[in-house]
Structure 1
Amino acid sequence: FAACNLMWTVSIAQRERPCMKTKMCGDGRSHAFSGDLDEAGNLGKALSQRSIQNEIIMVPFSMLPVNRMAMLQMLHTFEDLGLENTLLLAEDGKRCAVLAQSLAPAPGETRPPIMSADGCAWSSSVGALPVPLATKLWLTKWRAAARALRAGYNVLLLSTDTALNEDPYRVLLHPFWQQYTAWVPEVAPTGALHDPLRGAAGTG
Protein backbone atom coordinates (compact mmCIF):
# COMPACT_ATOMS: atom_id res chain seq x y z
CA PHE A 1 0.00 0.00 0.00
CA ALA A 2 2.82 2.45 0.83
CA ALA A 3 4.26 2.44 -2.71
CA CYS A 4 0.83 2.99 -4.23
CA ASN A 5 0.11 5.83 -1.81
CA LEU A 6 3.28 7.59 -2.94
CA MET A 7 2.23 7.26 -6.57
CA TRP A 8 -1.18 8.74 -5.73
CA THR A 9 0.44 11.82 -4.19
CA VAL A 10 2.72 12.35 -7.20
CA SER A 11 -0.13 11.80 -9.67
CA ILE A 12 -2.39 14.35 -7.98
CA ALA A 13 0.37 16.93 -7.71
CA GLN A 14 1.33 16.73 -11.37
CA ARG A 15 -1.98 17.72 -12.95
CA GLU A 16 -5.22 19.57 -12.41
CA ARG A 17 -7.83 17.40 -10.76
CA PRO A 18 -11.06 16.75 -12.70
CA CYS A 19 -13.17 17.69 -9.66
CA MET A 20 -12.14 21.33 -10.03
CA LYS A 21 -14.54 21.67 -12.96
CA THR A 22 -17.52 20.33 -11.00
CA LYS A 23 -16.55 21.97 -7.68
CA MET A 24 -16.75 18.54 -6.06
CA CYS A 25 -13.14 18.45 -4.84
CA GLY A 26 -12.87 17.32 -1.25
CA ASP A 27 -10.01 19.49 -0.01
CA GLY A 28 -10.96 18.79 3.59
CA ARG A 29 -14.68 19.47 3.10
CA SER A 30 -15.51 15.93 4.18
CA HIS A 31 -14.84 14.58 7.65
CA ALA A 32 -13.96 11.15 8.99
CA PHE A 33 -16.71 8.78 10.05
CA SER A 34 -16.74 5.19 11.23
CA GLY A 35 -19.76 3.60 12.85
CA ASP A 36 -22.79 1.32 12.88
CA LEU A 37 -25.58 2.79 10.75
CA ASP A 38 -28.14 1.03 12.95
CA GLU A 39 -27.21 3.10 15.99
CA ALA A 40 -29.41 6.14 16.57
CA GLY A 41 -28.19 9.23 14.76
CA ASN A 42 -25.27 7.55 13.02
CA LEU A 43 -26.71 7.63 9.52
CA GLY A 44 -27.26 11.38 9.77
CA LYS A 45 -23.71 11.84 11.04
CA ALA A 46 -22.28 9.70 8.25
CA LEU A 47 -24.13 11.61 5.55
CA SER A 48 -23.40 15.08 6.92
CA GLN A 49 -19.72 14.31 7.49
CA ARG A 50 -19.03 12.49 4.22
CA SER A 51 -21.27 14.22 1.65
CA ILE A 52 -20.36 17.26 -0.43
CA GLN A 53 -23.08 19.42 -1.97
CA ASN A 54 -25.63 16.83 -0.83
CA GLU A 55 -23.92 14.16 -2.96
CA ILE A 56 -22.71 10.85 -1.52
CA ILE A 57 -20.96 7.89 -3.17
CA MET A 58 -21.56 4.51 -1.49
CA VAL A 59 -19.24 1.58 -2.15
CA PRO A 60 -19.63 -1.85 -0.49
CA PHE A 61 -16.36 -3.71 -0.03
CA SER A 62 -14.79 -6.80 1.49
CA MET A 63 -11.23 -7.44 2.62
CA LEU A 64 -11.05 -10.84 0.95
CA PRO A 65 -7.75 -11.25 -0.94
CA VAL A 66 -9.56 -11.50 -4.27
CA ASN A 67 -11.19 -8.09 -3.71
CA ARG A 68 -8.30 -6.12 -2.20
CA MET A 69 -6.70 -5.05 -5.47
CA ALA A 70 -10.04 -3.81 -6.81
CA MET A 71 -10.59 -1.87 -3.59
CA LEU A 72 -7.13 -0.33 -3.83
CA GLN A 73 -7.75 0.68 -7.44
CA MET A 74 -11.08 2.26 -6.54
CA LEU A 75 -9.49 4.34 -3.78
CA HIS A 76 -6.69 5.28 -6.18
CA THR A 77 -9.30 6.50 -8.65
CA PHE A 78 -11.15 8.60 -6.05
CA GLU A 79 -7.91 10.22 -4.91
CA ASP A 80 -6.82 10.89 -8.48
CA LEU A 81 -10.17 12.52 -9.27
CA GLY A 82 -10.14 14.50 -6.02
CA LEU A 83 -13.38 12.97 -4.73
CA GLU A 84 -13.86 12.52 -0.99
CA ASN A 85 -17.65 12.29 -0.67
CA THR A 86 -17.46 8.54 -0.20
CA LEU A 87 -18.95 6.16 2.33
CA LEU A 88 -17.47 2.68 2.24
CA LEU A 89 -19.81 -0.07 3.44
CA ALA A 90 -18.41 -3.13 5.21
CA GLU A 91 -19.73 -6.31 6.78
CA ASP A 92 -18.84 -5.11 10.27
CA GLY A 93 -16.65 -2.74 12.25
CA LYS A 94 -13.72 -5.15 12.23
CA ARG A 95 -13.43 -4.86 8.44
CA CYS A 96 -13.44 -1.07 8.67
CA ALA A 97 -10.64 -1.27 11.23
CA VAL A 98 -8.63 -3.65 9.02
CA LEU A 99 -9.00 -1.29 6.06
CA ALA A 100 -7.87 1.71 8.10
CA GLN A 101 -4.89 -0.21 9.45
CA SER A 102 -3.84 -1.43 6.02
CA LEU A 103 -3.85 2.12 4.65
CA ALA A 104 -2.11 3.73 7.62
CA PRO A 105 1.36 5.22 6.96
CA ALA A 106 4.31 3.02 7.80
CA PRO A 107 6.49 4.09 10.75
CA GLY A 108 8.45 7.16 9.71
CA GLU A 109 6.42 7.64 6.52
CA THR A 110 4.90 11.06 5.86
CA ARG A 111 2.15 11.45 3.28
CA PRO A 112 -1.32 12.97 3.01
CA PRO A 113 -4.19 10.88 4.40
CA ILE A 114 -6.35 8.92 1.97
CA MET A 115 -9.50 10.96 2.41
CA SER A 116 -11.69 8.75 0.21
CA ALA A 117 -11.12 5.91 2.70
CA ASP A 118 -11.96 8.07 5.71
CA GLY A 119 -15.63 7.08 5.80
CA CYS A 120 -16.54 3.50 6.67
CA ALA A 121 -19.82 2.13 8.00
CA TRP A 122 -21.66 -1.11 8.61
CA SER A 123 -25.06 -2.42 9.69
CA SER A 124 -25.02 -4.63 12.78
CA SER A 125 -28.51 -5.97 12.09
CA VAL A 126 -27.54 -7.09 8.58
CA GLY A 127 -24.19 -8.41 9.78
CA ALA A 128 -25.96 -10.74 12.21
CA LEU A 129 -28.01 -12.41 9.49
CA PRO A 130 -27.08 -16.03 8.59
CA VAL A 131 -26.49 -15.22 4.93
CA PRO A 132 -23.37 -15.14 2.69
CA LEU A 133 -21.02 -12.16 2.80
CA ALA A 134 -22.07 -10.92 -0.64
CA THR A 135 -25.71 -10.87 0.46
CA LYS A 136 -24.85 -8.90 3.60
CA LEU A 137 -23.00 -6.28 1.56
CA TRP A 138 -25.84 -5.93 -0.92
CA LEU A 139 -28.42 -5.59 1.86
CA THR A 140 -26.28 -3.02 3.66
CA LYS A 141 -25.83 -1.07 0.43
CA TRP A 142 -29.50 -0.94 -0.50
CA ARG A 143 -30.70 -0.13 3.02
CA ALA A 144 -28.15 2.66 3.40
CA ALA A 145 -28.97 4.07 -0.04
CA ALA A 146 -32.72 4.02 0.59
CA ARG A 147 -32.33 5.77 3.93
CA ALA A 148 -30.01 8.38 2.41
CA LEU A 149 -32.52 9.08 -0.37
CA ARG A 150 -35.31 9.52 2.17
CA ALA A 151 -33.06 11.96 4.02
CA GLY A 152 -32.78 14.08 0.87
CA TYR A 153 -29.33 13.10 -0.37
CA ASN A 154 -28.34 12.15 -3.91
CA VAL A 155 -26.67 8.74 -4.06
CA LEU A 156 -24.21 7.20 -6.50
CA LEU A 157 -23.80 3.46 -5.87
CA LEU A 158 -20.60 1.89 -7.14
CA SER A 159 -18.84 -1.47 -6.89
CA THR A 160 -15.12 -1.71 -6.22
CA ASP A 161 -14.55 -3.05 -9.74
CA THR A 162 -16.13 0.02 -11.36
CA ALA A 163 -13.75 1.93 -13.64
CA LEU A 164 -14.11 5.72 -13.53
CA ASN A 165 -12.19 7.46 -16.29
CA GLU A 166 -13.29 10.95 -15.25
CA ASP A 167 -15.30 12.77 -12.62
CA PRO A 168 -18.85 11.30 -12.87
CA TYR A 169 -20.32 14.57 -11.60
CA ARG A 170 -19.56 16.21 -14.93
CA VAL A 171 -22.64 14.29 -16.08
CA LEU A 172 -24.61 13.85 -12.88
CA LEU A 173 -24.67 17.56 -11.99
CA HIS A 174 -25.77 18.63 -15.46
CA PRO A 175 -29.24 20.25 -15.34
CA PHE A 176 -30.64 17.56 -17.63
CA TRP A 177 -30.07 14.91 -14.95
CA GLN A 178 -31.37 16.85 -11.95
CA GLN A 179 -34.58 14.80 -11.98
CA TYR A 180 -32.59 11.78 -10.80
CA THR A 181 -31.55 11.24 -7.19
CA ALA A 182 -29.85 7.83 -7.43
CA TRP A 183 -27.53 6.24 -9.96
CA VAL A 184 -26.82 2.52 -9.99
CA PRO A 185 -24.80 0.98 -12.86
CA GLU A 186 -26.89 -1.99 -13.97
CA VAL A 187 -25.10 -5.30 -14.41
CA ALA A 188 -26.22 -7.81 -17.02
CA PRO A 189 -26.29 -11.55 -16.21
CA THR A 190 -22.89 -11.87 -17.89
CA GLY A 191 -21.47 -9.14 -15.67
CA ALA A 192 -21.33 -6.53 -18.45
CA LEU A 193 -22.80 -3.08 -17.89
CA HIS A 194 -25.69 -2.06 -20.12
CA ASP A 195 -28.21 0.77 -20.44
CA PRO A 196 -27.18 2.98 -17.48
CA LEU A 197 -30.46 4.91 -17.64
CA ARG A 198 -32.27 1.84 -16.35
CA GLY A 199 -30.20 2.17 -13.19
CA ALA A 200 -31.28 5.75 -12.51
CA ALA A 201 -33.98 6.54 -9.97
CA GLY A 202 -36.12 9.59 -10.62
CA THR A 203 -37.72 11.92 -8.13
CA GLY A 204 -41.16 11.74 -9.70
Structure 2
Amino acid sequence: MTLELRDVVIRAQGGAPLFPPTSLVAGPGEIATIIGPSGIGKSTLLDAIGGHLTQGFALEGRILLDGRDLCGLPAEARRVGLMFQDSVLFPHLSVGDNLAFGLARNVRGRAARRRAVDEALEAAGLAGLYDRDPATLSGGQRSRAALMRTLLAEPHALLLDEPFSKLDVALRAEMRAFTFEHIRQRNIPALMVTHDVADAEAAAGPVIDLAPSQVQTSRK
Protein backbone atom coordinates (compact mmCIF):
# COMPACT_ATOMS: atom_id res chain seq x y z
CA MET A 1 0.00 0.00 0.00
CA THR A 2 1.14 3.53 -0.85
CA LEU A 3 -0.47 6.78 0.32
CA GLU A 4 -0.04 9.70 -2.05
CA LEU A 5 -1.08 13.34 -1.88
CA ARG A 6 -1.01 15.31 -5.12
CA ASP A 7 -1.14 19.10 -4.83
CA VAL A 8 -3.61 18.96 -1.95
CA VAL A 9 -5.09 22.27 -0.80
CA ILE A 10 -7.79 22.90 1.81
CA ARG A 11 -9.78 26.11 1.98
CA ALA A 12 -12.28 27.45 4.46
CA GLN A 13 -15.46 28.31 2.62
CA GLY A 14 -14.79 31.34 0.44
CA GLY A 15 -11.36 31.84 1.97
CA ALA A 16 -7.70 31.49 1.12
CA PRO A 17 -5.92 28.10 1.32
CA LEU A 18 -4.89 27.01 4.80
CA PHE A 19 -1.48 25.98 3.41
CA PRO A 20 0.26 25.88 0.02
CA PRO A 21 -0.33 22.92 -2.37
CA THR A 22 1.13 19.85 -0.71
CA SER A 23 2.36 16.58 -2.22
CA LEU A 24 3.94 13.50 -0.66
CA VAL A 25 4.34 9.77 -1.07
CA ALA A 26 4.43 7.37 1.89
CA GLY A 27 5.25 3.83 0.85
CA PRO A 28 4.50 0.50 2.56
CA GLY A 29 5.67 0.56 6.17
CA GLU A 30 6.79 4.18 5.87
CA ILE A 31 5.80 6.93 8.32
CA ALA A 32 5.62 10.42 6.86
CA THR A 33 5.48 13.40 9.21
CA ILE A 34 3.62 16.71 9.00
CA ILE A 35 4.87 19.64 11.04
CA GLY A 36 3.92 23.31 11.09
CA PRO A 37 2.58 26.07 13.32
CA SER A 38 -0.66 25.66 15.27
CA GLY A 39 -3.78 26.52 13.31
CA ILE A 40 -2.28 26.02 9.86
CA GLY A 41 -4.41 22.95 9.12
CA LYS A 42 -2.36 19.87 10.03
CA SER A 43 -5.25 18.04 11.69
CA THR A 44 -7.66 19.31 9.04
CA LEU A 45 -5.46 17.66 6.41
CA LEU A 46 -5.72 14.36 8.29
CA ASP A 47 -9.50 14.84 8.46
CA ALA A 48 -9.57 15.26 4.69
CA ILE A 49 -7.58 12.07 4.11
CA GLY A 50 -9.73 10.06 6.51
CA GLY A 51 -13.00 11.34 5.05
CA HIS A 52 -13.97 13.47 8.06
CA LEU A 53 -13.51 16.97 6.64
CA THR A 54 -15.74 19.39 8.52
CA GLN A 55 -18.54 21.09 6.61
CA GLY A 56 -17.41 24.49 5.43
CA PHE A 57 -14.02 23.31 4.19
CA ALA A 58 -13.24 22.44 0.57
CA LEU A 59 -10.57 20.04 -0.66
CA GLU A 60 -8.60 20.42 -3.87
CA GLY A 61 -6.08 17.99 -5.37
CA ARG A 62 -5.99 14.20 -5.16
CA ILE A 63 -5.57 11.69 -2.34
CA LEU A 64 -4.60 8.21 -3.52
CA LEU A 65 -4.28 5.00 -1.51
CA ASP A 66 -2.59 2.27 -3.52
CA GLY A 67 -3.69 4.08 -6.67
CA ARG A 68 -7.35 4.41 -5.62
CA ASP A 69 -8.66 7.97 -5.41
CA LEU A 70 -10.20 8.46 -1.95
CA CYS A 71 -11.80 11.82 -2.71
CA GLY A 72 -15.57 11.47 -2.72
CA LEU A 73 -15.55 8.14 -0.84
CA PRO A 74 -17.24 7.96 2.58
CA ALA A 75 -14.93 7.43 5.55
CA GLU A 76 -15.99 3.80 6.06
CA ALA A 77 -15.00 2.91 2.50
CA ARG A 78 -11.49 4.38 2.69
CA ARG A 79 -9.86 1.75 4.98
CA VAL A 80 -7.89 4.49 6.75
CA GLY A 81 -7.27 4.08 10.49
CA LEU A 82 -7.01 6.98 12.93
CA MET A 83 -5.05 7.33 16.18
CA PHE A 84 -5.41 10.48 18.29
CA GLN A 85 -3.58 12.00 21.25
CA ASP A 86 -6.39 10.85 23.56
CA SER A 87 -6.45 7.05 23.78
CA VAL A 88 -10.23 6.83 24.04
CA LEU A 89 -11.61 3.43 25.04
CA PHE A 90 -15.32 2.82 25.53
CA PRO A 91 -15.85 2.92 29.32
CA HIS A 92 -18.83 0.56 29.22
CA LEU A 93 -16.83 -2.21 27.51
CA SER A 94 -14.02 -4.38 28.85
CA VAL A 95 -10.54 -4.03 27.38
CA GLY A 96 -11.09 -7.12 25.22
CA ASP A 97 -14.52 -5.98 24.03
CA ASN A 98 -13.01 -2.61 23.09
CA LEU A 99 -10.57 -4.41 20.80
CA ALA A 100 -13.29 -6.70 19.46
CA PHE A 101 -15.24 -3.59 18.44
CA GLY A 102 -12.48 -2.80 15.94
CA LEU A 103 -12.27 -6.25 14.35
CA ALA A 104 -12.47 -6.42 10.57
CA ARG A 105 -15.72 -7.83 9.21
CA ASN A 106 -13.98 -10.84 7.69
CA VAL A 107 -13.18 -12.19 11.19
CA ARG A 108 -16.31 -14.22 11.88
CA GLY A 109 -17.38 -16.57 14.60
CA ARG A 110 -17.03 -16.17 18.37
CA ALA A 111 -13.94 -18.38 18.63
CA ALA A 112 -12.10 -16.63 15.77
CA ARG A 113 -12.91 -13.19 17.14
CA ARG A 114 -11.78 -14.12 20.64
CA ARG A 115 -8.56 -15.60 19.28
CA ALA A 116 -7.80 -12.46 17.23
CA VAL A 117 -8.34 -10.23 20.26
CA ASP A 118 -6.26 -12.44 22.56
CA GLU A 119 -3.40 -12.39 20.05
CA ALA A 120 -3.62 -8.59 19.82
CA LEU A 121 -3.63 -8.26 23.61
CA GLU A 122 -0.55 -10.45 23.84
CA ALA A 123 1.22 -8.42 21.14
CA ALA A 124 0.44 -5.27 23.14
CA GLY A 125 1.75 -6.70 26.40
CA LEU A 126 -1.80 -6.92 27.76
CA ALA A 127 -2.25 -10.70 27.85
CA GLY A 128 -4.87 -11.78 30.36
CA LEU A 129 -6.56 -8.37 30.53
CA TYR A 130 -9.55 -9.16 28.31
CA ASP A 131 -12.08 -8.62 31.11
CA ARG A 132 -10.30 -5.64 32.69
CA ASP A 133 -12.11 -2.32 33.10
CA PRO A 134 -10.34 0.23 30.80
CA ALA A 135 -10.35 2.74 33.67
CA THR A 136 -7.85 0.56 35.55
CA LEU A 137 -5.23 0.68 32.77
CA SER A 138 -2.17 2.91 32.87
CA GLY A 139 -1.68 5.57 30.21
CA GLY A 140 0.71 3.39 28.26
CA GLN A 141 -1.61 0.39 28.44
CA ARG A 142 -4.53 2.47 27.18
CA SER A 143 -2.42 3.76 24.28
CA ARG A 144 -1.36 0.23 23.29
CA ALA A 145 -4.93 -1.04 23.53
CA ALA A 146 -6.22 1.84 21.39
CA LEU A 147 -3.58 1.20 18.74
CA MET A 148 -4.34 -2.53 18.60
CA ARG A 149 -8.07 -1.79 18.26
CA THR A 150 -7.29 0.42 15.27
CA LEU A 151 -5.01 -2.18 13.68
CA LEU A 152 -7.56 -4.99 14.17
CA ALA A 153 -9.75 -3.18 11.63
CA GLU A 154 -6.99 -3.99 9.09
CA PRO A 155 -6.57 -0.43 7.76
CA HIS A 156 -4.69 0.11 4.52
CA ALA A 157 -3.16 3.31 5.93
CA LEU A 158 -2.88 4.92 9.36
CA LEU A 159 -3.21 8.57 10.40
CA LEU A 160 -1.57 9.66 13.68
CA ASP A 161 -2.71 12.99 15.13
CA GLU A 162 -0.25 13.98 17.91
CA PRO A 163 -0.54 10.41 19.25
CA PHE A 164 2.18 10.71 21.89
CA SER A 165 1.79 14.31 23.03
CA LYS A 166 0.08 13.55 26.36
CA LEU A 167 2.62 10.93 27.46
CA ASP A 168 5.66 11.63 29.63
CA VAL A 169 9.10 11.50 28.01
CA ALA A 170 9.94 7.89 28.88
CA LEU A 171 6.49 6.56 27.96
CA ARG A 172 6.48 8.63 24.78
CA ALA A 173 9.63 6.92 23.52
CA GLU A 174 8.21 3.50 24.40
CA MET A 175 4.88 4.11 22.66
CA ARG A 176 6.58 5.65 19.64
CA ALA A 177 8.75 2.56 19.19
CA PHE A 178 5.76 0.25 19.75
CA THR A 179 3.54 2.11 17.27
CA PHE A 180 6.15 2.42 14.53
CA GLU A 181 7.14 -1.23 14.89
CA HIS A 182 3.55 -2.38 14.31
CA ILE A 183 3.10 -0.06 11.33
CA ARG A 184 6.23 -1.49 9.73
CA GLN A 185 5.27 -5.07 10.54
CA ARG A 186 1.95 -4.57 8.75
CA ASN A 187 3.69 -2.80 5.86
CA ILE A 188 1.11 -0.01 5.65
CA PRO A 189 1.81 3.70 5.04
CA ALA A 190 1.26 6.17 7.87
CA LEU A 191 1.02 9.94 8.14
CA MET A 192 1.75 11.58 11.49
CA VAL A 193 1.12 15.11 12.76
CA THR A 194 3.49 16.16 15.54
CA HIS A 195 5.23 19.11 17.18
CA ASP A 196 8.04 16.91 18.49
CA VAL A 197 11.19 16.73 16.34
CA ALA A 198 12.07 13.43 18.07
CA ASP A 199 8.87 11.90 16.67
CA ALA A 200 9.85 12.87 13.13
CA GLU A 201 13.41 11.61 13.61
CA ALA A 202 12.17 8.26 14.90
CA ALA A 203 9.71 7.96 12.00
CA ALA A 204 12.63 8.38 9.57
CA GLY A 205 10.29 9.08 6.66
CA PRO A 206 9.37 12.08 4.49
CA VAL A 207 8.75 15.32 6.42
CA ILE A 208 6.30 17.99 5.27
CA ASP A 209 6.47 21.47 6.82
CA LEU A 210 3.17 23.28 6.20
CA ALA A 211 4.68 26.67 7.04
CA PRO A 212 3.94 28.97 4.07
CA SER A 213 7.62 29.59 3.33
CA GLN A 214 8.44 25.88 2.99
CA VAL A 215 8.52 23.74 -0.13
CA GLN A 216 5.38 21.58 -0.08
CA THR A 217 6.53 18.51 -1.97
CA SER A 218 8.03 15.26 -0.71
CA ARG A 219 8.26 12.49 -3.25
CA LYS A 220 10.19 9.27 -3.53
The structure whose residues are more often strand, as a share, is 2
The structure whose residues are more often helix, as a share, is 1
Q: Same fold (TM over 0.5)?
A: no
Tell me the TM-score normalized by structure 1. Answer: 0.31
* Higher-Rg member (1/2): 2
